[in-house]
Structure 1
Amino acid sequence: EIARRAGVSHGAPRRYFATHHALLSAIARRGFEDLAARFETAVDPETPPRAQLERLAKTYVGYALECRGMFELMFRHDLLDSAQQRDGRTQLRTSTLPLFELLATLVDRCGKEPGAVRRPGAPGDSAPPPTVTAAALWAGLHGIAQLWTWGSLQLALATPPPGDEERDRLVTAVLDAHLGPVAA
């Protein structure tokens, strides 16, 4: 089907992709490149880290809702090649690392802002490391995206199909849960 849509012979993809997994991996790599480019466009380094995180989070969830099939493929490491690529590229699963590192850096910078509220772990514990908070934040954002595409959030919240306002409220709730509310 891919060959037909590309207007090439049925066997042509085999010339470039040894396996179905290699083809899916190449497609997913394009998705990561697209998402990274959207992050770069969305995040203004001159704004405070919390505002950058908010834009990044909205972009992430927006991408998931706009490019549902690609988004789902990008995080299916069980389907994608995890070996060194033939062209010398690193493992596809490491494509998420720069995006995660950006998230963790911004979480760390948020915790260092004057008046920042850092959520501790269990009572009496200090705040978790920024990477742990970033991972929990990422999981929350990914959960919003996935549950929305499955229709679960609409059912639970009795809301219509996704709109920017509802998406933004959910993103803000996840940010507040992990970073604390924005100081007034």
Structure 2
Amino acid sequence: MDQERPLRERLIDVGVDLVLTEGTAAVGLREIARRAGVSHGAPRRYFPTHHALLSAIARRGFADLGDRFAAAAARASSPREQVRALGAAYVGYALEHRGMFELMFRHDLLDSTGQEDTGEPRLRASTLPLFELLVSLVSRCGATADAEVTAAALWANLHGVAQLWAWGSLPLVLGADGREEYVGRLVDAALAAHLGPAAS
């Protein structure tokens, strides 16, 4: 671990690693302190609560997902292709980083009171720019219904695809061997259900 990095960032680094390798349940202030090689009380200087620590870790996940969204959207031309690229990136991220993905959207676990003294917005605000991007693209796709509701339904659909695939339910019912092929088809089906069929 880079000892030159500020301690707060090093603690988050350890927390991110724990979430990615062992899941949210493994993340505790004492365990992070032990792995970072500092006293058990050191993390409390930066994270007054367990929720504040989880929020700092989840913020890293949102930053990573936002970068993936930007890269995916940049490779697509039309709004619909961008929505598809974002959908595939979302499901792909969920399956590659299950622990982080599960943490990021557990707002019941995360700090929503602004207790983190970082000068940054509350963690819940990290979800909003990504959702607003989806709403904008859905609107540009010419969705006839309320774009915000349509985007929310599409997001819920994609989230369900990610969870049910990760839990083994979709591979079971589809008899799926190849994740890439089926996930792409499921993303296409979700887009068709919410945005209508793609133009031929």
Q: TM-score, normalised by structure 1?
A: 0.87
Q: Does 1:107 align with 2:107?
A: no
Deviation for aligned residue 1:6: 2.5
Alignment of 1:48-87 (within 5 A): 48-84=78-114, 85-87=116-118
Q: Does 1:130 align with 2:130?
A: no
Larger RCO (CA under 8 A, 6+ residues apart):
1
Q: Which of 150, 153, 171 is the equivalent residue of 1:154?
A: 171
Q: Percent identity?
A: 66
Q: Does 1:90 align with 2:121?
A: yes
Aligned to 1:20: 50
Q: Which of 166, 170, 179 is the equivalent residue of 2:186?
A: 170
Deviation for aligned residue 1:14: 1.4
Provide the rounded CA distance (Å) in 1 between the counterparts of 2:187 and 2:34.
Answer: 39
Provide the rounded CA distance (Å) in 2 between the counterparts of 1:67 and 1:151.
Answer: 15
**Which structure 1 residue ranges, 4+ long, deviate > 3 Å from structure 2?**
none
Provide the rounded CA distance (Å) in 2 between the counterparts of 1:52 and 1:26.
Answer: 29
Provide the rounded CA distance (Å) in 2 between the counterparts of 1:13 and 1:94.
Answer: 24
1:105-144 CA deviation, whole Å, 9 max, x = no partner?
Answer: 0000011xxxxxx4xxxxxxxx321111100000000000
Q: TM-score, normalised by structure 2?
A: 0.80
Letter of the 1:104 counterpart = V
Higher percent of residues as helix: 2
Q: Which runs of 5+ in 1 are unaligned?
A: 112-117, 119-126
Residues 1:18 and 1:145: Cα distance change in structure 2 (over 3 Å): same
Provide the rounded CA distance (Å) in 1 between the counterparts of 2:197 and 2:163.
Answer: 24
1:18-68 CA deviation, whole Å, 9 max, x = no partner?
Answer: 011100000001100110011111112871101111111100000000010
Q: Which of 68, 79, 86 is the equivalent residue of 1:38?
A: 68
